[in-house]
Amino acid sequence: MNAKWLSPGRFLVLGFAGLVFLGASLLLLPVAANPDIAIRPVDALFTSTSAVCVTGLIAIDTADYFSVFGRTVVALLVQIGGLGITSIGVAFILLAGKRIGLRERVLVKEALNLDTLKGVVQLVKSVVLVTLCFEGAGMVLSYLVFSKDYPPLSALGISAFHSVAAFNNSGFDILGGYRNLIPYRDNVLLNLTTCGLIICGGLGFYVIREVLHKRSWRGLSMNTKIVLTMTAALLIIGTLLLKLTDNVTWLGAFFQSTSARTAGFSTYSLGEFTNAGQFVLILLMFIGASPGSTGGGIKTTTTYTLLRSMLAFATNRDCTAFHRKIPHESILKAFTVTILAVAVVCLMTFLICILEPELTFMQILFEVVSGFGTVGLSTGITPQLRDASKLLLCLTMFIGRLGPLTMACIWVYKPSSNLSYAEEKITIG
């Protein structure tokens, strides 16, 4: 294959696609299923796609259908999908004591959505270390809860799986019966531990590293300030709106507001939420987490840039944030990402509406946005979808994980030219 043709974007797409099919193949092995259970190829593919894309939507219950081997495969797919194929590859190269080349650095830059190649290798080391620390702490705290209801070995396995899924913003659970975390709705420790892992995983590795190193608001970059501000604002606004629209506790409202930001865990049956409550979750899922994180969605920085640019345009001022001017290129990219995301959601919703006429529009829209945002929240319709609808959701999750802009650019990758056409105004509005 021509190395010039294999751009960083195309490499990521092929890498993730290869991992999805490898995962599906492993989940189809007899050893991956529980006794007397047969896993259908489409369900194995759906599960693998959901795991690699750190989503959490399930066509079959992970605990009821998969053996310990199968659950381990799912956990590994979630971990690799969350950290990124390139980060994992670079980590293994470093462990082998070999030098990281320019191509590997470019791939990591693309995967983690960085602006520069500077400090890429050091960032990968930080990513692995931060992940192990957070997941280790989460496993210990989760074990304190699960050990009360399960034998020690089972509790340890559930805790490890839950910690990996939570930090990587993937809503998989292995409690069985499609229950998710509903049995632990009122458990404060597990709720707050899960929320902590979700929030930290959704901030982005670069942001976590910068916060740990600089430790003062003034020393943080504009990007990090935007991420922290938007994260706090969305958590508060989401909690208040969910408490207002549905009969949930404050803890439940906070948990669902946190989880809707691409994690996918639920402590309530979301199919019983009001239309207003489901709409709030849809908005949170569409926005998602932050760049360079384990989460999906159009991202917090994109949303902030959209809002600030519209305000600036309406008031005829420069688009600024925290005494810095936001580049025109960033504004254009934010609008492009959003338009492409809306287009993907609309197209997939339309197609599944045709395939599933017995389902309501809100149910289908909720599922599609959950897939695109790599969230994993569901109103409970995923297992009953037709195979064609499941395949469309697989494609939606795949596009959501890699980003609609990355998927669009893989078809037209070529060096930029200094030549340009003459400008001519058109009438807008």
Among 119-128, 289-298, 406-415, the range with the most confident prediction by mean pLDDT is 289-298
Mean pLDDT of 193-203: 93
Instruction: State pLDDT tens for residues 63-122.
Output: 999 999 999 999 999 998 887 765 666 666 566 666 666 666 666 666 666 666 666 667
pLDDT band at 144 (very low <50, low <70, confident <90, very high): very high
Instruction: State pLDDT tens for residues 331-370.
Output: 999 999 999 999 999 999 999 999 999 999 999 999 999 9
pLDDT at 41: 95
CA distance 258 to 281: 10
Instruction: State pLDDT tens for residues 232-277.
Output: 999 999 999 999 999 999 999 999 999 998 888 999 999 999 999 9
Residue 413 has pLDDT above 60, yes or no: no
Mean pLDDT of 389-416: 77
pLDDT at 1: 46
Number of other residues whose CB lies within 10 A of the CB of residue 176: 11
Residue 31 has pLDDT above 70, yes or no: yes
Q: What is the 3-state secondary structure (H, E, C) of the chain?
A: CCCCCCCHHHHHHHHHHHHHHHHHHHHCCHHHECCCCCCCHHHHHHHHHHHHCCCCCCCCCHHHHECHHHHHHHHHHHHHHHHCHHHHHHHHHHHCCCCCCHHHHHHHHHHCCCCCCCCHHHHHHHHHHHHHHHHHHHHHHHHHHHCCCCCHHHHHHHHHHHHHHHHCCCCCCCCCCCCCCHHHCCCHHHHHHHHHHHHHHHHCHHHHHHHHHHCCCCCCCHHHHHHHHHHHHHHHHHHHHHHHHCCCCHHHHHHHHHHCCCCCCCCCCHHHCCHHHHHHHHHHHHHCCCCCCCCCCCCHHHHHHHHHHHHHHHHCCCCEECCEECCHHHHHHHHHHHHHHHHHHHHHHHHHHHHCCCCCHHHHHHHHHHHHCCCCCCCCCHHHCCHHHHHHHHHHHHHHHHCHHHHHHCCCCCCCCCCCCCCCCCCCC
Total-model pTM: 0.90
> What is the distance between the terminal CA atoms of the chain, rounded to a whole angstrom?
46
Domain ranges of the chain: 10-408
CA distance 257 to 243: 10
pLDDT at 301: 93
Residue 215 has pLDDT above 80, yes or no: no
Residue 186 has pLDDT above 50, yes or no: yes
Mean pLDDT of 198-221: 87
pLDDT at 416: 53
Mean pLDDT of the chain: 87
pLDDT at 293: 82
pLDDT band at 189 (very low <50, low <70, confident <90, very high): very high
Share of the chain above pLDDT 90, in %: 62
Mean pLDDT of 196-212: 88
CA distance 133 to 139: 10
pLDDT at 82: 83
